[in-house]
Amino acid sequence: MDAYTPAQDRYESQHDGWFRRVGNSGLKLPRVSLGFWHNFGDDKPIETQRAIMRRAFDRGVTHFDLANNYGPPAGAAEKNAGRILAEDFAAHRDELIISSKAGWHMHDGPYGFGGSRKCLMSSLDRSLERLGLDYVDIFYHHRPDPDTPLEETMYALRDIVASGKALYVGISSYGPELTAEAAEIMAGEGCPLLIHQPSYSMVNRWVEEPGEDGASLLQSAAESGLGVIAFSPLAQGLLTDRYLDGIPAGSRAVAGKSLSEEMLSERNIGMARKLNDVAKQRGQSLAQMAIAWVLRDQEDQTVTSALIGASSVEQLDDNIDAARNLDFSAEELELIDGIAHDAGINIWAGATASRTRG
């Protein structure tokens, strides 16, 4: 293993505006962040993982996003990332934003999922052990838990910050009303929520839809002072050129990794082909246009960062390059709206609105 020396121009290499302030906080995130949901488990070569992390940092990607159950197996992504962080990034910890989460299934038994104080606190302790860190920068409740009072979950997040094991806390996949409630509780505790992490793409626009109170999730987050980091902007790979000519062997769809063959219907593939034509007219790949679309300016509802996965350095570079052109004309947006339809990608929809009162 060769010693890693980060690129000296890693901050100058990106254009102005590469870092965007998160909500009402003083924290800034890069426009594109690296997610570890896929590609960092024990089924992937550690040296490929190392190369992706190095290249990301060299290009100004300072945010690495993990969760307790990322793998496979569960916990492997944190363990592998922890090894690489120790070997390559120990001298640069202060330049990195490391996030983790708990809430989805981690292990069998009543404390391996949910939003209880027991689940969140014990999970974070194990995450820190795997990562080899004293603290994470952001810790999320990964999804609403209908069996746990919202106050219990929020108070646990408050106390995690007070313990020094996380600098900031956030939520993921909460609906607009629940987001507003959670933010109100935390503001009252003097520990504001930093950020919301929802799924969002051209073919999965639930965050734009009005909730029961009339506000969308994007509006609710903005009104509550939260930043937004969008995961799955590529709709689990549908919004790439990978499936335009069929389902290749070894793809995520064949492996059953969150993108089912049913989602790759002729209707969806036909839509992706038409969107690909629009991307070509913009001088972008389909993936680049999809990421740029998520990051486009939307008045006061702008997304802070897009969370992308990468199985290779080449794919990473292509995705990061999306930030070179985030401008859309009114005609382009209208054309995209006329082509794009809901693709049935939002497999997290059932978790967005649950609420148990204390």
- The rounded distance, in Å, linking the Cα atoms of 236 and 269 is 13
Q: Letter for the amino acid at 305?
A: S
The yes-or-no verdict on residue 125 having pLDDT over 60 is yes
- Measured over the CA atoms of residue 194, residue 195, residue 196 and residue 197, the dihedral's sign is negative
Q: Report, as an integer, the average pLDDT of 322-334.
A: 96
Answer whether 317's CB lies under 8 Å from 9's CB: no
- The rounded distance, in Å, linking the Cα atoms of 69 and 288 is 28
pLDDT of residue 346: 87
From 3-17, 30-44, 130-144, 218-232, the region with the lowest mean pLDDT? 3-17
The yes-or-no verdict on residue 115 having pLDDT over 70 is yes
CA distances in angstroms from 227 to 109, 304, 346, 351, 353, listed in the order given: 33, 6, 21, 20, 19
Tell me the domains of the chain and their CATH numbers. Answer: 19-234+294-325 (3.20.20.100)
Cα of first residue to Cα of last residue in the chain, in angstroms, is: 52
Which among 227, 229, 305 has a CA at the least distance from the CA of 23? 227
pTM recorded for the entire structure: 0.94
Q: What is the per-residue pLDDT across 238-266, written as a single tens digit (0 to 9) for each?
A: 999 988 986 666 555 545 555 767 788 99
pLDDT of residue 159: 98
Helix, strand, coil percentages (3-state) for the chain, rounded to 5, are 40, 15, 45
Calculate what percentage of the chain has a pLDDT beyond 70.
Answer: 92
The yes-or-no verdict on residue 3 having pLDDT over 60 is yes
- The rounded distance, in Å, linking the Cα atoms of 165 and 152 is 18
- Residue 97 CB neighbour total at 10 angstroms: 21
Q: Where are the alpha helices (DSSP H) in the chain?
A: 46-58, 76-88, 117-131, 150-163, 176-188, 217-223, 252-255, 266-282, 286-295, 313-320, 330-339
Q: Report, as an integer, the average pLDDT of 80-104.
A: 98
Q: Report, as an integer, the average pLDDT of 5-21.
A: 88
Cα Rg of the chain (Å, integer):
19
Q: What is the per-residue pLDDT across 266-289, written as a single tens digit (0 to 9) for each?
A: 999 999 999 999 999 999 999 999
- The rounded distance, in Å, linking the Cα atoms of 298 and 311 is 30
Task: State both tokens at 112.
Answer: 């391996």
pLDDT of residue 256: 55
pLDDT of residue 33: 98
Task: Report residue 233's pLDDT band, with 50, 70 and 90 as the boundaries.
Answer: very high
pLDDT of residue 98: 99
Calculate what percentage of the chain has a pLDDT beyond 90.
Answer: 85
pLDDT of residue 354: 54
Q: What is the per-residue pLDDT across 45-81, written as a single tens digit (0 to 9) for each?
A: 999 999 999 999 999 999 999 999 999 999 999 999 9
5 contacts: CB under 8 Å, gap ≥ 6: none
pLDDT of residue 12: 85
- The rounded distance, in Å, linking the Cα atoms of 342 and 72 is 29
Identify the residue with better confidence: 292 or 255.
Answer: 292
CB pairs under 8 A, 24+ apart, for 326-334? 326/31, 326/292, 326/295, 326/296, 326/297, 327/296, 328/292, 328/293, 328/296, 332/278, 332/282, 333/296
